[in-house]
């Protein structure tokens, strides 16, 4: 869906790999994560908190079909999408494709 909209997508197997990618790829402008992530040292909610703290300008999108976090539990300006989400809602949350 995101690639079809013209974005370059980099996938990470878990939160630790995502952090590693952010450390080496200053061109990453958005992070889209599910709350429930396999493996690694943190779930998606902890990941987006870590991203907000270290890379404040990065757009944060969090999704889940089972868990609905409180707004107060997410970093500021996080977009939460309940699964199944609508493509339009996801694309509205992303920066304009270059």
pLDDT the model gives residue 97: 60
What pLDDT does residue 41 have?
Answer: 86
pLDDT at residue 63, as a whole number: 96
All structural domains of the chain, each given as residue ranges with its CATH number in brackets, are 15-93 (3.40.50.2300)
pTM: 0.91
Q: If we measure between CA atoms, which residue out of 16, 58, 23 comes closest to residue 40? A: 16
Kindly list the averaged pLDDT for each block of 10 residues, start to end, along the chain of length 98.
Answer: 92 95 96 88 94 97 92 94 93 80
């Amino acid at each position: 869906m995101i690639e079809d909209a013209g974005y370059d997508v980099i996938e990470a197997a878990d939160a630790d790999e995502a952090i590693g990618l952010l450390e080496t790829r200053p061109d990453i402008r958005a992070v889209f994560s599910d709350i429930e992530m396999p493996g690694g040292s943190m779930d998606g909610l902890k990941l987006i908190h870590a991203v907000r703290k270290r890379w404040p300008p990065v757009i944060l999108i969090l999704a889940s079909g089972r868990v609905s976090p409180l707004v107060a539990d997410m970093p500021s300006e996080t977009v939460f999408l309940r699964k199944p989400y609508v493509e339009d809602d996801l694309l509205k949350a992303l920066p304009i494709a270059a």
